[in-house]
Structure 1
Amino acid sequence: MKTLSEWLLSSPFSLNLQSNEDIKLGVRQPKGVLVNLLTEDKFTENRALYDFAFRIYGEVKSKTLYPMNDSGKEFFFIFPKDLPKSLGFDLPGKSHYLCYLGSLLSVSLLNHSNKNPEIKNYLLNFENNFIDNFSSIKYEFFVGFLQKSISNKLSKNYLQEEKISININDINFSPFDLNKSQSIHDSMCITRSFVNMPPNILNPQSYEDFLDFIIENEKKFFEEKAEIHMEVMSYEALKEQDCGLICAVGQGSLIKPRLVKLTYQPRNSSKKLPKISLVGKGITFDSGGYDIKPSSGMRIMKKDMGGSASAFGIFLSCLKLELPVHLTCWLPLAENMISGNAMRPGDVYRAKNGLQIEIDNTDAEGRLVLADALTLAIQESPDWLIDLATLTGAARVSLGTMVDSLFGNHKFTTELLYRSGIETGDWVWNIPIPADYESYLDSNISDLANSGSSGFAGSITAALFLQKFIGNTQWNHIDTYMWCDKPTFLWSEGSGATGKCVRLVTRAIEEYILNL
């Protein structure tokens, strides 16, 4: 599918596992460069080995690539002692630290490659025992490495002619490590690609087509290992199923809404699998409706489908890692547009679960599409239900752009997500859901309004609204941003799409399975 391939983000690097002998042979190749990776302690201990860099630069710092000699074939890079930034009182987890180190090396090698385009092979030589100290999470190093190298600019991805080979010694990493790095990275790339797409490329119809293309490819690859299915409920089918809220949000657009359902489970599992459901908000463009956004607020509303992209990235990650889980992913897709058919403030619509909802604000549309999708999800009795959405500006006012708001009705899963955030650096912060705030959603003519009347606690009243549609299911809601306003941590140059929540929720699902 040409349009999809044109917009898929990718790293300029490719990872290759090689034997120690092949690494030595590669250094002797014309386009091969050896990079020695050191800790600060090891560098200090063997300082005399690096006199060439001192003579040229005067001083040597961490986080920078330096030549070992004048051959142009051997360099060294020092990993810093300092940890990445922390959230609150908790120190960064080891996964966060490894991703951070990988991202630092990525920046240096990318800069070196841009200045020396003839170099196509970097051979990495890790300090003895350093990477082995991280045991089962070594793969995180190359997740950070690959993610940091991505550009959100279409030309830089589409015009990539030849990948830069990153050759890794099989003494340090196993095929399993690299496969896990690549699987999580690829899933995050799909998430970032969708969020990055402009709204004239990504709409409910093309989104469905892109998802179908990706799923068909995954089905071919995992045909013998997993059962993977994709179903689509059209606008007409949604009306027949009484999903009045999804229909209301999307009825103003020429491209009608739909609901995509994805399922995955491994074949021939010998034990009962936990059932986990993901729900992701998929508003491919949000004008705000008749409660129209100002131009500044509308400018990046292509990202309002970020929750669905994140949910799909998590789904892909779990599939590629072949996790033992029955996983369902619900993606309500719609555009919130203005027309003679669009919903209006004061309209009342019937939700799938029977509640009558008064439209207080047409720009509070995300919770409407989520509500019907949540109702369908709980009909299958999942053990854990997680929804992800770029839902409220209030969440950004309270926590900014780097920390997502986390809500939940169960202590274990909420703490699991918080701890996974600390471990991975994909941060969430637990927000309370006081029942007294439900009164903000009161309506004079229906069961409840879709937006709070007071202007206070906007992210909380949104979570309270969603809670009306989950029954007694174990549930978590993540109010995310999916956008980077400056180059921080994993994300690439400048502002743009992120892969938020993919590592966070994938890690939490892995831990959830282990705790059963």
Structure 2
Amino acid sequence: MSLTFATDASDAIPLFLVEASALEGWMEDQPPRVVRWLDAIGFKAALGSAVVVPNAEGQPELAVAGFGDTQGRARGRFPLAAAAAKLPKGTYKIASDLPAGDLKTEVLGWLLTGYSFDRYRSQSPAKARLICPEGLDAKAIETIATSEALTRDLINTPAADMGPEALEAAVRDLAKDHEAKVDVISGDDLLAQNLPMIHAVGRAAEQAPRLIDLRWGNAGPSVTLVGKGVCFDTGGLNLKPGASMGLMKKDMGGAATVLGLARMIMALGMRVRLRVLIPAVENSVSGNSFRPGDILSSRKGLTVEINNTDAEGRLVLADALTLADEENPDVLISMATLTGAARVAVGADLAPYYSDDPKIVSALENAASAVSDPVWRMPFWTPYESQIEPGIADLDNAPKGGFAGSITAALFLRRFVDNPSYTHFDIYGWHPGVAPARTKGGVGMGARALLEALPEILDLT
């Protein structure tokens, strides 16, 4: 797959980006033969449409991509990517003006049309290549695209090839590329190092549970990312039905997303001290599986009653978050494919997040809009705290009732963190259909928004 810009502009085809309302005026400035061609095929500059106009010799002279209208663009993302997927083979150079921010996002979308998951079957490469417009940082945009591809590849890989061992190997490969340090605590050493809930969730699997700890950078503010790495989730003894188990290779989507974000941060040389913590486990069924009714002790000292072994993600995150919080980082963020309730609330396209830090909220909302990586703030609704208190233990991992499941999960995690900057993302990590710049399958959510927001959050600008 090609997630880079073309570099040879000698035969580049000019590409005009035209809104439907501006089409008539744009055509007034074109030669009559161009107008006749566009009229003959009925080109209306509809959103995502694209056409190549030949010259007298039958070779491409120019191309036009339709940008529709404002209302249409509000209903989707990456209109240039939609057009790029329909353009024939060739190298193109944008010949129209767009606001700089919009242009950066649009050309990133173009690059992402080149993504395909080809580990198990060869895929057709993208036909249309793009010259990076002047004034944009080509390497930075390519870095974001290839980091998103890392996230997608990790999620798309089935659990047979992406268990805790393989996820650890992926982290080590990433660390090697960027001169980062990795430490791993695995198996019974988790108990010795006081990470009991990570051990409890993963002990039934053939591959040992582990906590993966990556560090990079020695100057600047501290940023800690914690990603849920449940490489497959059977539901444990509260076994999922088959239909619900089908996508559980993506239950390490939080880990995949923080690794993509970490790659962006490191490759772009952001002046931060970065730490990434990934509790990597499989929630399997065996004679030593943890059970409904068990009461687990946590690193923080809080006890947790297990009322559903399928609510395991919050357990492994709790120990990892406690460890992260002990260093009191300037920013602490967790990302996890945590609850189906979040999907019911906002669907597959939005990344719901929880934060009580007004600076983070403001920066994140502005950044998400600027880079077309939508997020939606959810409430740490303190009145629901009683729902996660079972009485027999400090906390309940799966409160009864079915209401506000994403909120109660977030409140559960917050009990293990004292840091006021704590921000939690309850992402889906999967795109259920084909859309501009996104194939069906694994997808990063919230990472680009966080990358854009971090300089403002950390006063790096």
Shared topology, TM-score over 0.5? yes
Report the alpha carbon displacement of residue 173 of structure 1 after superposing the two structures with TM.
Answer: 2.0
Match of 2:388 in 1: 441
Residues 85 and 128, structure 2, Cα contact 8 Å, conserved in 1: no
Q: Does 1:192 align with 2:152?
A: yes
1:68 to 54, 57, 68: 54
Change (3 A) 1:423 1:84: farther
Q: From 39, 43, 53, give the equivalent of 2:18.
A: 39
Q: Distance in 2 between matches of 1:232 and 1:142?
A: 38
Amino acid at match of 1:103: A
> 1:56 offset after TM fit, Å?
4.4
The equivalent residue for 2:91 is 122
For residues 359 and 37 of structure 1, do their structure 2 counterparts lie closer, same or farther at Cα, with a shift above 3 Å needed?
A: same
- Is residue 402 from structure 1 mapped to residue 349 from structure 2 by the alignment? yes
1:245-294: CA deviation from partner (whole Å, max 9, x where unpaired) = 1011101111111011111216xx5xxx1111110000000011111111
Contact 1:14 1:164 in 2 (8 A): no
**Corresponding residue for 2:34?**
50
Find the partner of 1:426 among 336, 358, 373: 373
Task: Give, in angstroms, the shift of residue 68 of structure 1.
Answer: 3.2
8 A contact 2:67–2:80 mirrored in 1: no
Q: Which amino acid aligns with 2:54?
A: M
Asked if residue 183 in structure 1 is aligned to residue 143 in structure 2, the reply is yes
Shift of 1:152: 3.4
Q: Distance in 2 between matches of 1:414 and 1:55?
A: 48
Instruction: Indicate if the aligned counterparts of 2:17 and 2:67 stay in contact, CA closer than 8 A.
Output: no
1:503 aligns with 2:455: no
Please say which of residues 49-58 and 184-193 is displaced more in the overlay.
Answer: 49-58
| Pairing partner for 2:188 from 236, 240, 247 | 236
CA distance in structure 2 between the aligned counterparts of 1:84 and 1:481, rounded to whole angstroms: 26
What's the offset of the Cα at 1:515? 6.4
Q: Contact conserved, 1:274 with 1:513, CA < 8 A, in 2?
A: yes
Task: Determine the C-alpha separation between the residues in 2 that align with 1:414 and 1:167.
Answer: 34
Q: Is the 8 A contact 1:194 1:309 kept in 2?
A: yes
Q: What is the percentage of aligned positions where both structures have the same residue?
A: 31
- Report how far residue 83 of structure 1 moved: 3.7
Residue 168 of structure 1 is aligned with which of 131, 134, 159? 131
Q: Count residues in correspondence.
A: 453
2:6 aligns with one of 16, 26, 33: 16
CA contact (8 A) 2:50 2:84 kept: no
C-alpha separation in 2, matches of 1:339 and 1:360? 18
Q: Which has the larger displacement, 257-266 or 338-347?
A: 257-266
What secondary structure sits across from 2:271 in the alignment? Answer: coil
Q: Please report how far the alpha carbon of residue 403 of structure 1 lies from its aligned counterpart in structure 2 after TM superposition.
A: 1.3
- Give 1:77's match in structure 2, choosing from 64, 81, 86: 64
How much has 1:418 moved relative to structure 2? 2.5
1: CA distance, partners of 2:81 / 2:426:
26
| Partner Cα separation in structure 2 for residue 358 and residue 335 of structure 1 | 20
What SS class does the counterpart of residue 15 from structure 1 fall into? coil
What CA distance in whole angstroms lies between the structure 2 residues aligned with 1:330 and 1:431?
A: 24
Aligned to 1:143: 108
Q: Structure 1 residues 431, 68: CA separation in 2 closer, same or farther (over 3 Å shift)? A: same
Partner of 2:363: 416
TM-superposed CA distance for 1:321, in Å, is 1.0
Aligned AA for 2:27?
T
Cα deviation, residue 356, structure 1: 1.1
1:207-246 superposed Cα distances (whole Å, 9 cap, x missing partner): 1112212321232xxxxxxxx2111111232111111110
Distance change >3 Å, CA 331–CA 205, structure 1 → 2: same
Q: Write the distance in 1 (CA, Å) between the matches of 2:457 and 2:380.
A: 23
Task: Give the direction of change, closer, same or farther, for the CA distance of 1:431–1:14 in structure 2 (3 Å limit).
Answer: closer
Residue 386 of structure 1, CA deviation: 0.7
Structure 1's 164 and 217: CA in aligned 2 closer, same or farther, altered over 3 A?
A: farther
Q: State the AA in 2 paired with 1:362.
A: T
Q: Tell me how far 1:81 sits from its aligned partner.
A: 4.6
Residue 254 in 1 paired to residue 203 in 2? Answer: no
Deviations 1:442-480 (A, max 9, x none): 223211111112221100110110011011341111100
Q: What is the CA-CA distance between 1:39 and the residue it aligns to?
A: 2.7
Q: State whether residues 82 and 436 of structure 2, in contact with CA within 8 Å, keep that contact through their aligned partners in structure 1.
A: no
Could you list the per-position Cα deviations for residues 398-439 of structure 1 after superposition, in whole angstroms to 9, with x for gaps in the alignment? 111111221112222123222222222222211112222111
Q: How far apart are residue 159 of structure 1 and its match? A: 5.8
| 8 Å contact kept, 2:356–2:421 | yes
Quick one: distance in 2 between partners of 1:311 and 1:85? 32
Q: Does 1:108 align with 2:86?
A: yes
- SS of structure 2 residue aligned to 1:376: helix
Q: Structure 1's 448 and 103: CA in aligned 2 closer, same or farther, altered over 3 A?
A: same
Q: Does the 8 A contact of 2:113 with 2:126 survive in 1?
A: no
Q: Determine helix, strand or coil for the equivalent of 1:293.
A: coil
User: What is the aligned-residue RMSD (CA, Å)?
Assistant: 2.4
| Superposed displacement of residue 14, structure 1 | 3.7
Q: Which one-letter code corresponds to 2:93 in the other structure?
A: L
Secondary structure in 2 matching 1:36: strand
- 8 Å Cα contact 1:282-1:334 kept in structure 2: yes
The gaps in structure 2 that reach 5 residues or longer are none
Moved more, 184-193 or 229-238: 229-238
Structure 2: distance between partners of 1:449 and 1:318: 36
Out of 223, 228, 233, the position equivalent to 1:286 is 233
Q: Within 2, Cα distance between the matches of 1:59 and 1:443?
A: 63
Q: What is the deviation of 1:140?
A: 2.6
1:207 corresponds to 2:159: no
Determine the C-alpha separation between the residues in 1 that align with 2:42 and 2:368. Answer: 40
Q: Tell whether the 8 Å contact from 2:164 to 2:207 is kept in structure 1 after alignment.
A: yes
Please state whether the residue corresponding to 1:124 is helix, strand or coil: strand
Structure 1: gaps (5+ residues): 1-9, 28-32, 114-120, 220-227
Matched, 1:218 2:187: no
